[in-house]
């Protein structure tokens, strides 16, 4: 039980949460925006990968079509230094390159002018990093099913897609579209992102499975899943009559379990469509793929490894005995938050995880009710560490604290009740996911500006405290009973100057919304009153203090 609980906590805090913040050249090369990266815009990847499963080796090519933004003769791509580059060509000519840690600097034999579109082909091979604890510490998972058949999968959020394929490892530059070709033994099935195209049978008893992604895609969402899969399908029908293809790929032994468990998908999609808008990658379809690790939000090919159990591996983390599969609900939420609405830098991974975790609460409120959703939001509040900010450091391939999951959900729930108008709030959320930031990248500043504009409030100080500081605001208070009166004094203590926020005080069962003005405030009631602060709708720390003493 202790081991399972540990895994639960690891999943909540996410990849890289325990890494110490010690940065060097490798980090700046990977996370930095320099002229060798900003000078070109990737338009299309055509990735071909051959698997030698017994040797745990891959080989292949990536054809990278890009448009030059500023005239250049030098660009940076990325591929882990343990992988071998066989050749780099431009227009059929071999190009010179140098390697600096995982960065690959290509020096072209000609100048490429602004506006030109060119294709570079990188041929490579090697034994990619083996995942130590997928998906949190990612890489390739070389596994087998119960019958001894190969079962291979990849997970690389945080650590980076360049651990297994040459790419431009910059969050802000997603290709407009992509193709993925995976060659494996013909006894196996390779499932990748997007729409499956016609497979090619080879004379050496191998098959190349071809997949087309017709939307922009995050590098870390690009995936391979290889097993002796069986496939079944279904259709989700939108309220407007549009039909979305649902495809499921599972091991043969899992087929009947999957047919029952995956019935949750259609009502879930209906909830998300109501609150977040239609599934963002409609033309590519929706898929769940059984994997040997717990789960990952691979666009259009969601990795599923929750063993067809309710909750998180059989546990309901909210303690309410809710009957849904956590991995299906959470990872599907990422199709909107992370895959569609995407961060421009790893530092803003909180946008992916905070909003996705909040989508779990949206699902609970949709399927159950508001009260159940509020219990869900607050169930693991004590697990929030508040040890460092949710936001990371820009330009250093650094993500923030794993609090971005639970604390992020609590923060968004706080914003909802700060707005105090559900019609406006849900319109803001849906407009954000379905219109304003749909299938595009964004950042902290844009998100803060959006919520401030849409709410009609200046929320910059609120975001600054919750996202960029390690601790939530503290509400200091003192309650005195004297001369037949109940006297409350309160004030906010924060890291951010001029921070103001209301709080809800329950006075013998009746709500009072406290002033959001700065400074110490005093309220007086006649008689002996029972006062309770509501920390369900707002997330902050309560601290009883003696106001007669200096701060």
What is the distance between the alpha carbons of residues 338 and 354, in angstroms, rounded to a whole number? 10
Question: Could you read off the pLDDT tens digit of each residue along the chain, which spans 551 residues?
Answer: 322 333 343 344 444 443 445 789 999 999 999 999 999 999 999 999 999 999 999 999 999 999 999 999 999 999 999 999 999 999 999 999 999 999 999 999 999 999 999 999 999 999 999 999 999 999 999 999 999 999 999 999 999 999 999 999 999 999 999 999 999 999 999 999 999 999 999 999 999 999 999 999 999 999 999 999 999 999 999 999 999 999 999 999 999 999 999 999 999 999 999 999 999 999 999 999 999 999 999 999 999 999 999 999 999 989 999 999 999 999 999 999 999 999 999 999 999 999 999 999 999 999 999 999 999 999 999 999 999 999 999 999 999 999 999 999 999 999 999 999 999 999 999 999 999 999 999 999 999 999 999 999 999 999 999 999 999 999 999 999 999 999 999 999 999 999 999 999 999 889 999 877 778 999 999 999 999 999 999 999 999 999 988 66
- CA distances 473 to 208, 408, 448, 534, Å, are 55, 14, 18, 14
Q: What is the DSSP letter of 220?
A: G
Report the predicted TM-score, pTM, of the whole model to 2 decimal places: 0.94
Q: Which two tokens stand for residue 87?
A: 């050749």
- For 289, the token pair is 């793929």
* DSSP helix/strand/coil, 377: helix
Domains in the chain, CATH or no CATH each: 36-228 (2.60.40.1730), 337-468 (1.10.390.10), 474-544 (2.60.40.1840)
Task: Identify the three-state secondary structure at position 226.
Answer: strand
Q: Are 272 and 332 in contact (CB under 8 A)?
A: yes
- Please name which of 3, 76, 4 lies closest in space to residue 314, comparing C-alpha atoms: 4
Residues 420 and 363: their CA atoms lie apart, in Å, by 20
Distance CA 304, CA 334 (A): 13
Q: Tell me the C-alpha distance between 231 and 57, whole Å.
A: 26
Q: What angle do CA 357, 359, 363 make, to 5 degrees?
A: 125
CB 506 within 8 A of CB 531: yes
- Cβ distance 42 to 174 under 8 Å? yes
CB within 8 A of 209, min separation 6: which ones? 181, 182, 183, 184, 189, 190, 191, 192, 196, 199
Q: What are phi and psi of 286, to 5 degrees?
A: -115, 140
Cα separation, 105 vs 125, whole angstroms: 18
As given in the structure block, the two tokens for residue 343 are 């961060």
Task: Quote the tokens at residue 512.
Answer: 């009072």
Tell me the torsion sign for CA atoms 315, 317, 322, 323: negative
φ and ψ of 335, to 5 deg? -60, -30
């Amino acid at each position: 039980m202790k081991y399972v609980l540990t895994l639960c906590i690891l999943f909540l805090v996410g990849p890289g949460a325990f890494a110490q913040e010690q940065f060097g050249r490798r980090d700046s090369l990977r996370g930095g925006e320099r002229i060798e990266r900003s000078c070109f815009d990737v338009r299309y990847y055509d990735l071909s990968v051959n698997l030698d499963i017994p040797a745990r080796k891959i080989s292949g090519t990536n054809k990278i079509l890009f448009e030059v933004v500023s005239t250049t003769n030098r660009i940076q791509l990325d591929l882990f230094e343990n992988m071998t580059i066989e050749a780099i060509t431009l227009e059929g000519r071999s190009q010179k390159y140098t390697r600096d840690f995982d960065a690959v600097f290509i020096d072209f034999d000609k100048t490429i002018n602004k506006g030109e579109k060119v294709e570079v082909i990188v041929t490579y091979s090697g034994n990619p990093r083996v995942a130590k604890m997928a998906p949190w510490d990612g890489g390739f998972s070389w596994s087998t099913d119960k019958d001894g058949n190969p079962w291979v999968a990849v997970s690389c959020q945080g650590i980076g897609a360049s651990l297994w394929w040459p790419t431009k490892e910059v969050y802000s530059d997603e290709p407009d579209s992509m193709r993925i070709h995976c060659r494996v033994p013909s006894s196996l099935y390779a499932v990748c992102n997007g729409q499956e195209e016609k497979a090619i049978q080879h004379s050496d008893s191998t098959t190349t499975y071809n997949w087309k992604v017709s939307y922009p895609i995050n590098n870390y969402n690009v995936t391979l899943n290889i097993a002796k899969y069986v496939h079944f399908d279904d259709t989700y029908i939108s309220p407007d009559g549009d039909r979305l293809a649902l495809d499921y790929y599972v091991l043969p032994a899992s087929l009947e379990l999957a047919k029952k468990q995956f019935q949750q998908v259609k009502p879930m999609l209906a909830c998300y469509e109501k609150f977040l808008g239609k599934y963002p990658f409609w033309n590519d379809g929706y898929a769940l793929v059984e994997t040997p690790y717990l789960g990952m939000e691979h666009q259009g090919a969601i990795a599923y490894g929750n063993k067809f159990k309710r909750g998180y591996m059989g546990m309901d983390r909210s303690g309410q005995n809710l009957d849904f599969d956590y991995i299906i609900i959470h990872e599907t939420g990422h199709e909107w938050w992370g895959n569609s609405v995407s961060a421009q830098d790893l530092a803003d991974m909180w946008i992916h995880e905070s909003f996705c975790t909040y989508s779990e609460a949206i699902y609970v409120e949709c399927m159950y009710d508001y009260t159940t959703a509020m219990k869900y939001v607050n169930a693991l509040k004590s697990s929030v560490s508040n040890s460092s900010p949710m936001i990371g450091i820009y330009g250093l391939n650094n993500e923030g604290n794993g609090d971005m999951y639970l604390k992020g959900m609590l923060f968004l729930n706080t914003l909802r009740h700060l707005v105090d108008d559900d019609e406006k709030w849900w319109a803001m959320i849906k407009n954000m996911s379905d219109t304003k930031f749909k299938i595009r990248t964004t950042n902290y500043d844009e998100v803060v500006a959006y919520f401030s504009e849409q709410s009609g409030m200046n929320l910059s100080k609120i975001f600054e405290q919750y996202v960029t500081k390690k601790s939530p605001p503290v509400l200091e208070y003192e309650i005195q009973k004297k001369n037949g009166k109940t006297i409350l004094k309160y004030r906010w203590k924060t890291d951010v100057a001029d921070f103001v926020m209301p709080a809800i005080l329950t006075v013998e069962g009746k709500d009072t919304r406290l002033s959001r003005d700065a400074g110490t405030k005093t309220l007086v009631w006649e008689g002996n009153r029972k006062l309770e602060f509501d920390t369900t709708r707002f997330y902050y720390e309560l601290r009883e203090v003696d106001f007669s003493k200096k701060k």
